[in-house]
């Protein structure tokens, strides 16, 4: 049976992994919409290859290039944020949400309001708007399939179990490429060093987040919303081999873990085929060859980001959205060579301190307003060199 698919963020790393799986099983899928921000030529090539009905660049300035690249193909071209949300509301069997950052929030919400099935990789949307998104999921009868590898692991471990029997959920963290670096070395880390992840190949933003451990902080907040067992039952352990993708301990002290290769095609396949299974091209897990699995507590002195995230979700209100927005601004500044590596967490902490503590945003627009104001605050910090 052919199923229809929309892929938000088709030109990114998750987008490429998703399309690799679709390419291997072309008869199983009909591609409705593919989206990108500015990569018009790349998007047009994918839209032609997969016979998409519509291709959307959210950066409207890139629409003429997209139109030109799609000329004669019969594929509709559209541009701008509104067009992106409209594409996300087209009825499909599966939406893969793989835009990076809070920019993915509005289209994810559009897909949720349609009551669709959404494979959610875009963790920033859930961090910024956790309550608003989860309420909309319940209200519109949408199905959210966690695609982030840790949350997909937890989702699999919880299958057939009751949340009330969960004693603890443990997120594993690779620790990133700079895990063993001293504080002095970290202060001098370059973007190239920070994005050189030992186990995973990912987009630049999440690669930096992995190096700072903010990725695990965002995932902690993501887990809080997806699996409501309470913060006291959420834990983080560093596991450099990235073989165990996360674990659930039950009250009888039985722990279930999901293991697999560190390749996003595994959790993406789990979402695409859910509730069944599909083939992936990956080699079987060879534990004898891996030999050793090790575990360490997170070091929040050198990597304060997990502490900031824990504090933000405990504070609640607008703090998680502020944390996320400030982090997006700081990571972009780091990648542009404007601030040092250890300044990323400092910008986030200072933005949280300077932002007025406002009540929990109750609507999408309120979340986006908090996001915008936190971005301005973080940019002001950078422009006034308050921290550098």
Q: Which chain residues interact with Mg ion by CB under 5 A?
A: 148-150
With CB under 6 A as the contact rule, which of the stretches 119-127, 168-176, 247-255, 350-358 interacts with ligand NDP? 119-127
Pairing assessment for the beta strands 94-97 and 76-79 based on DSSP bridges: unpaired
Applying CB under 6 A, the site for ligand NDP has a residue count of 27
Residue 175's binding partner, choosing from ligand NDP, Mg ion, none, with beta-carbon cut-off 5 to 8 A by kind?
A: none
Task: Give the angle 296-297-300 at the CA atoms, nearest 5°.
Answer: 130
| Distance separating the N- and C-terminal Cα atoms of the chain | 57
Contact with ligand NDP (CB under 6 A): which of 96, 133, 264, 345?
264
With CA atoms as reference, report the closest residue to 303 among 243, 384, 254, 236: 236
Q: Is 173 exposed, middle or buried (0-12, 13-18, 19+ CB in 10 A)?
A: buried
Contact with ligand NDP (CB under 6 A): which of 5, 14, 178, 247?
14
**Closest distance to Mg ion from the beta carbon of 206 (Å):** 8
**Cα 148 from Cα 364, distance rounded (Å):** 22
Residue 32's binding partner, choosing from Mg ion, ligand NDP, none, with beta-carbon cut-off 5 to 8 A by kind?
A: none
**Cα 87 from Cα 75, distance rounded (Å):** 13
Residue 54 or 249: the one with the smaller Cβ distance to ligand NDP is 54
**Cα 123 from Cα 215, distance rounded (Å):** 9
**DSSP letter assigned to residue 292:** -
Residues 6+ apart with CB under 8 A from 378: 325, 326, 329, 330, 347, 348, 351
**Closest distance to ligand NDP from the beta carbon of 223 (Å):** 13
Q: Is 256 exposed, middle or buried (0-12, 13-18, 19+ CB in 10 A)?
A: middle
Site for ligand NDP in 130-189 (CB under 6 A): 148
Question: Are 14 and 96 within 8 A, CB to CB?
Answer: yes
Residue 169 or 350: the one with the smaller Cβ distance to ligand NDP is 169
Contact with ligand NDP (CB under 6 A): which of 6, 9, 116, 154?
9
Contact with ligand NDP (CB under 6 A): which of 6, 18, 39, 351?
39
| Residue 123 binds to ligand NDP (criterion: CB under 6 A) | yes
With CB under 6 A as the contact rule, which of the stretches 96-104, 254-262, 280-288, 377-385 interacts with ligand NDP? 96-104
Q: Is the dihedral of CA 134, 131, 267, 124 positive or negative?
A: positive
Element (H, E) at 172: strand 166-173
For residue 256, which phi and psi values (nearest 5 degrees)?
Answer: -105, 135
Phi-psi category of 9—alpha, beta or left, where left has phi over 0 and alpha has psi -120 to 50? left
Residue 205 or 216: the one with the smaller Cβ distance to ligand NDP is 205
With CB under 6 A as the contact rule, which of the stretches 118-126, 136-144, 272-280, 380-388 interacts with ligand NDP? 118-126
**Cα 281 from Cα 360, distance rounded (Å):** 44
Residue 151's binding partner, choosing from ligand NDP, Mg ion, none, with beta-carbon cut-off 5 to 8 A by kind?
A: none
Give the nearest residue (CB) to ligand NDP: 12
Residue 123's binding partner, choosing from ligand NDP, Mg ion, none, with beta-carbon cut-off 5 to 8 A by kind?
A: ligand NDP
**DSSP letter assigned to residue 207:** H
Contact with ligand NDP (CB under 6 A): which of 6, 13, 174, 280?
13
With CB under 6 A as the contact rule, which of the stretches 11-19, 300-308, 315-323, 353-361 interacts with ligand NDP? 11-19
**Closest distance to ligand NDP from the beta carbon of 162 (Å):** 27
- Token pair 């983080």 is found at 236
**Closest distance to ligand NDP from the beta carbon of 318 (Å):** 20
**Closest distance to ligand NDP from the beta carbon of 205 (Å):** 6
Residue 258's binding partner, choosing from Mg ion, ligand NDP, none, with beta-carbon cut-off 5 to 8 A by kind?
A: none
**Closest distance to ligand NDP from the beta carbon of 358 (Å):** 24
Binding site for ligand NDP (CB under 6 A): 9-15, 36-39, 58, 98-100, 103, 121-124, 148, 200, 202-203, 205-206, 264
């Amino acid at each position: 049976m052919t199923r229809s698919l929309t892929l938000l963020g088709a030109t990114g790393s998750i987008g490429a992994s998703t399309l690799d799986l679709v390419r291997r099983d072309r008869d199983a899928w009909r591609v409705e919409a593919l989206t990108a921000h500015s990569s018009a030529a790349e998007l047009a090539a994918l839209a032609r290859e997969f016979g998409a009905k519509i291709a959307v660049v959210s950066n409207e300035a890139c629409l003429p290039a997209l139109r030109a690249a799609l000329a004669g193909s019969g594929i509709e071209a559209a541009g701008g944020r509104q067009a992106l949300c409209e594409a996300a509301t087209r009825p499909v069997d599966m939406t893969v949400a793989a835009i990076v950052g809070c920019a993915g929030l509005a289209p994810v919400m559009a897909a949720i309001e349609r009551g669709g099935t959404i494979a959610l990789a875009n963790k920033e949307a859930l961090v910024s708007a956790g309550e608003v998104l989860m309420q909309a999921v319940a209200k519109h009868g949408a199905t959210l399939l966690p695609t982030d590898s840790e949350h997909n692991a937890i989702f699999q471990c919880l299958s057939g179990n009751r949340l009330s029997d969960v004693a603890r959920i443990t997120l594993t963290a690779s620790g990133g490429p700079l895990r063993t670096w001293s504080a002095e070395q970290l202060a001098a880390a370059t973007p190239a060093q920070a994005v050189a992840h030992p186990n995973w190949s990912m987009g630049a933003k999440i690669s930096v987040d992995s190096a700072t451990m903010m990725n695990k902080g965002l995932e902690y907040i993501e887990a809080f919303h997806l699996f409501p067992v309470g913060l006291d039952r959420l834990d983080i352990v560093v596991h450099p081999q990235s073989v165990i993708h996360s674990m659930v301990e039950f009250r009888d002290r039985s722990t279930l873990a999901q293991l697999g290769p560190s390749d996003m095609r595994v959790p993406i396949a789990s979402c695409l085929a859910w509730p069944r299974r599909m083939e992936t091209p990956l080699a079987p897990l060879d534990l004898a060859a891996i030999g050793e699995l090790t575990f360490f507590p997170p070091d929040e002195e050198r990597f304060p980001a997990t502490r900031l995230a824990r504090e933000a979700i405990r504070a609640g209100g607008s703090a998680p959205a502020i944390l996320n927005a400030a982090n997006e601004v700081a990571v972009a500044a780091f990648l542009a060579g404007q601030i040092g590596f250890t300044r990323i967490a400092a910008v986030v902490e200072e933005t949280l301190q300077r932002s007025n503590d406002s009540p929990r945003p109750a609507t999408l627009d309120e979340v986006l307003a908090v996001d915008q104001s936190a971005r301005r605050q973080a940019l002001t910090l950078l422009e006034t060199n308050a921290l550098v």
